[in-house]
Each structure stands twice: as C-alpha cells, then as structure tokens.
Structure 1
C-alpha cells in the first residue's frame, strides 16, 4: 500500500511539472510579438496579446524584456507614448517607486515624455 501511494505521488509530481512547463511554453508563444507591438506603439494589439495569453500585465511584467530593457524603458526608447502610458497605468504605483524608471528617464533624456510624466504622477 505504501508503495502504491509513493508511486502515485511520484506520477502526480511528474505530471504537474510537465504541465507547468507546457503552460509556460504556451504562454510564451501567445506573448510573442509583445516587443514589436510596444515598438510600433500599437496599444490595441498589445492588449490583444495580453488577453490571448490569459495573463495580467502585472504578473508577467518582470519576466519580459525587450532589447535588454523592461517594457516601460523600451517604450520610452522607441517613443511609444500610448503603449508606455497604458503600461504605467496598469502596473501598481509601488512598482515604479522602487524600479528607478523615472530616474533612468531623467538621465537618459526621456524626462519630457508622457510616459515619464505618467510615472511621476503616480
């Protein structure tokens, strides 16, 4: 009986691990094109990609980088004001207090962007 329980536990453990990897791969496929939509300043396609993935922006934000930068900095670099402002509105204000994105914007010449203004107002 103990062997049966141990075997079932092992099978369930492997099944859940493979499901997690499959779910992560599926969500990565669904999120392909996020960086392109940010660079193109296409808010509707950006939102559509998020909706298709079934994830919230705040849940995946830290895991996504475009060109080695987070989404907000990438939006500022590409002058994607609409998408960048949308991202700032969707993220918690506490995130930007600790992220240093506003300081980065001020030192890299993006202090006058609407994205930096949105961060500062939060």
Structure 2
C-alpha cells in the first residue's frame, strides 16, 4: 500500500514539472526555424514540423502567426530568401483561409509580395494555385 502511494506521488510530481516546461519547450523546438527556412532545407523543415506536431500536438497553422523572422512571417522570409522548397511546403501545409488572412501589418502574403516586387516568385505562384 505504501509503495502505491509513493508511486502516485512521484507520478504527480513529475507531471507538474513537465507541464510547466511545455511552453518553453515549444519555443526551444521552434528556435531555429527561421534559419531552416532561409537555408531552403525542406527536409529539415519537414522534420521540425513533424517533431512539433508529435511532441506538442501543434500544426503549422497553430504557431505560424507567432513566429517572426526579422519582422517577416515564415512565407515572406522564404520569398525574400528565394527559398522555394520551404516556401511551397508551407503553402501546401497551410489552409486556404489562413493563407488569405492578413498578417501583422494588415496585408495578405500576396498583397505584400506585389508591393515588394516578388509577384514572379514561384512561391507566389504556388499561393495563387492554392487559393
């Protein structure tokens, strides 16, 4: 009986410690995602997205808006870096509604790309095809 009580207390204590660290762990897991996107490393980005999904039950749409790479979103960063592979992967993983939603500056990705002379980017083509 005493062994059961000790085990239950140990499990409860471990659960409390791991639940408090979950938010910090998500930030750590996503820490170098901007570098991966800029480097156009599609395989590494796919691994990162799968790890975050399996470890934290988060999809790209859940953390996309919260990530800023030098003031730009992930897809905008891919366009600026000419990272076609990672940019098109993210376009495929995002819903049509999320792709049409204005970002922090109030502009959609397509409107921003047009203003910045990036409308010929293959990522914009993938965006238009998806939307």
Both structures adopt the same fold (TM-score exceeding 0.5):
yes
Match of 2:110 among 89, 102, 112: 102
Which residue in 2 is equivalent to 1:48? 47
Q: What's the TM-score, normalizing by structure 1?
A: 0.80
1:21–1:67 CA distance, 2 compared to 1 (3 A): farther
User: CA shift at 1:53, angstroms?
Assistant: 2.1
**1:18, distance to aligned residue in structure 2 (A):** 7.2
Q: Is the 8 A contact 2:40 2:83 kept in 1?
A: yes
User: Which structure features the higher share of helix residues?
Assistant: 1
TM-score by length of 2: 0.75
Counterpart for residue 39 of structure 1:
38
Task: Report what 1:63 is aligned to.
Answer: 66
In the alignment, structure 1 segments of 5+ residues that lack a partner are: 1-15
Partner in structure 2 of residue 91 of structure 1 = 94
Aligned length: 108
Q: In the aligned structure 1, how far is the partner of 2:120 from the partner of 2:20?
A: 42
Q: 1:119 aligns with which of 123, 127, 131?
A: 127
Structure 1 residues 17, 75: CA separation in 2 closer, same or farther (over 3 Å shift)?
A: farther
Runs of 4+ in structure 1 off by over 4 angstroms are 16-21
Helix, strand or coil at the partner of 2:101: helix
Alpha-carbon RMSD across the aligned residues, in angstroms, is 2.0
